[in-house]
Amino acid sequence: MTESPPPAHSPKRSTVRSLLRIWPYARPIRWYLVGSTSAAMVASLAGLLIPLVLKQIVDGPVSHHDAAGLWWPAALLLVLGLAEALFFGVRRWLLARPLSGVERVMRADLYARLQRLPVTFHDRWASGQLLSRATSDMFTIRLFLAFPLVFLIVNSMVFLVGIGIMFALDWQLAVIAVLPAAPLIMLCSYFERRYSAAARLAQDQNGDLATIVEESVLGIRILKAFGRHRTMAQRFRAQARELRGTELNKARLLANLWAVIVGLPELALGTALAVGVVQVAHDVTTAGTLVAFLSTALALRWPVESLGWLLAYSNEAATATDRFFEVLDTPLADAEDRVTSTGPGAGGSRDGIRFEGVRFRYPDAPADTPDLLQGVDLHIRHGETMALVGNTGSGKTTMTALLPRLYDPSAGRITLDGADITALSRARLRELVSVAFEEPTLFSASVRENVLMGAPEANEEELQRALDVAQAQFVRALPQGTDTQVGEQGLSLSGGQRQRLALARAVVGTPDFLVLDDPLSALDVHTEAQVERALRRVLADTTALVVAHRPSTVLLADRVAMLVDGRIAAVGTHHELLETSPAYRELMSGERVPA
Task: Tell me the three-class secondary structure of 324-391, residue by residue.
Answer: HHHHHCCCCCCCCCCCCCCCCCHHHCCCCEEEEEEEECCCCCCCCCCCCEEEEEEEECCCCEEEEEEC
Highest mean pLDDT among 164-168, 267-271, 278-282, 356-360: 356-360
For residue 26, what pLDDT is reported?
Answer: 92
Please state, rounded to an integer, the average pLDDT across all residues of the chain: 81
Q: pLDDT tens digits for 472-512?
A: 888 888 888 888 888 666 667 777 888 888 888 888 888 88
Domains 18-328 and 346-589 alike in fold:
no
What are the structural domain ranges in the chain? 18-328, 346-589
Contact 45, 158 (CB under 8 A): yes
Q: What percent of the chain has pLDDT over 70?
A: 88
Q: pLDDT tens digits for 68-91?
A: 666 777 777 788 778 878 888 888
For residue 321, what pLDDT is reported?
Answer: 92
Which residues fall within 8 angstroms of residue 592, CB to CB, at 6 or more apart? 586
For residue 78, what pLDDT is reported?
Answer: 82
For residue 60, what pLDDT is reported?
Answer: 67
Q: pLDDT tens digits for 119-172?
A: 888 888 888 888 888 888 898 899 898 888 888 888 888 888 888 888 888 888
For residue 414, what pLDDT is reported?
Answer: 93
Q: pLDDT tens digits for 527-562?
A: 778 888 888 888 888 999 999 888 888 888 899 999
For residue 384, what pLDDT is reported?
Answer: 92
Buried b (16+ CB within 10 A) or exposed e, 291-317: bbbbbbbebbeebbbbbbbbbbbbbbb
pLDDT score of 6 more than 50: no
**SS3 at position 10:** coil
Q: Which helix (H) or strand (E) holds 434?
A: strand 433-436
Nearest to 295 by CA among 318, 323, 272, 320: 272
Q: What percent of the chain has pLDDT over 90?
A: 12
For residue 593, what pLDDT is reported?
Answer: 47
CA–CA separation, 582 and 193 (whole Å): 67
CA–CA separation, 477 and 164 (whole Å): 79
Nearest to 126 by CA among 203, 200, 207, 235: 207
Give mean pLDDT, residues 181-206. Answer: 76
For residue 342, what pLDDT is reported?
Answer: 52
Class (C level, CATH) for 346-589: alpha beta
pLDDT score of 469 more than 90: no
**How many CB atoms lie under 10 A from the CB of residue 225?**
9
CA–CA separation, 140 and 124 (whole Å): 25
pTM: 0.73
Superfamily classification of domain 18-328? ABC transporter type 1, transmembrane domain (1.20.1560.10)
- Residue 25's pLDDT band (cuts 50, 70, 90): very high
Helices (H), 407-487: 426-432, 447-452, 460-469
